[in-house]
Structure 1
Amino acid sequence: MKIADLYIRVSTDEQADKGYSQRNQEEVLKRYCEINSIQVRNIIFEDHSAKSFVRPEWKKLEQGLKRSRGKVDLVLFTKWDRFSRNAGDAYQMINKLRNFGVEPQAIEQPLDLSVPENKMMLAFYLAAPEVENDRRALNTFHGMRRAKKEGRCLGIAP
């Protein structure tokens, strides 16, 4: 029987407190493990951005996986954007996890990375959220610039 740690991430405290995203992710991941006879070792909840792997709970998970080499087979998450929104960092982390003997896997976007063509799909799954973040940032920048030109107050009202 394979053993997995479940990684559940949202971006903000507000999503974690008021949203249903964490509960939904947990339910979907647990059901997947039950159907596929995977034993759950830990469930990790995170409420930090996926722009980097400088996340408190991720760091604890990473240290735990390093210490327990060979005891955990999988790190499961729902989609690749829950894992990372930075393609370069994600590739490095995937290699690090594999060196620990752990396979990261998005259950809603499964990929067998031993198949060379699947690496193209992984690139898409990792790049799309990063592009989305970059586009949102650019739109925000242009919107604020436009508001300034129109004389609108962008901060706290005087």
Structure 2
Amino acid sequence: MQIADLYIRVSTDEQADKGYSQRDQEERLRNIVSLKNIRIDRIIFEDHSAKTFERPEWQKYMDSFRRGKSGKETRLLLFTKWDRFSRNISEADQMISKLTKLNISPQAIEQPLDLRVPENKLLLAIYLLTPEVENDR
């Protein structure tokens, strides 16, 4: 059975009003893991901007692996969309590399990508760059 951590993030009241509430994200993620028979290990709730990974709950999550709590099995890190993970393409690329080294596979359930397929890097760039441009604007 696969193991997944659920990452649920909002940063503004507007997002909560437009269907990105933590409750809504959690419900969508739980439905997917239930359908795919994936066991949930942790649920991480965050309410900070995704412009950087200097987020309190994210830091706690990563620290838990630095202290050796990472298993040898590959685990999934699931979130609804890539902009829930990051709104900064260069930081996201670095974090994906760190997660991969920890046997953690980040995946957006509404924008699924197999990152082992080189062409999917183009889609990932679009998914991450679009919200970064929105932030800049």
TM-score, normalization: structure 1? Answer: 0.79
Indicate how the Cα distance of structure 1 residues 47 and 15 shifts in structure 2: closer, same or farther if over 3 A, else same. Answer: farther
| Number of equivalences | 133
Instruction: Give distance in 1, aligned partners of 2:29 and 2:116.
Output: 23
Q: Residue 65 of structure 2 aligns to which amino acid in structure 1?
A: L
- Could you tell me which runs of 5 or more consecutive residues in structure 2 were left unpaired when the two chains were aligned: none
Higher relative contact order (CA 8 A, sep 6+): 2
SS across alignment from 1:33: helix
Q: Which protein shows a greater Rg?
A: 1
Q: Could you tell me how far apart the structure 1 residues matched to 2:14 and 2:6 are? A: 18
Shift of 1:71: 5.0
1:45 equivalenced with 2:45 (yes/no):
yes
Aligned to 2:77: 75
* Aligned partner of residue 133 in structure 2, secondary structure: helix
SS in 1 for 2:116: coil
- The answer for unaligned runs of 5 or more in structure 1 is 136-158
The TM-score, its normalising length taken from structure 2, stands at 0.91
Change (3 A) 1:109 1:58: same
State yes or no: 1:29 paired with 2:65. no
**For the residues of structure 2 that align with 1:65 and 1:97, how far apart are their CA atoms?**
10
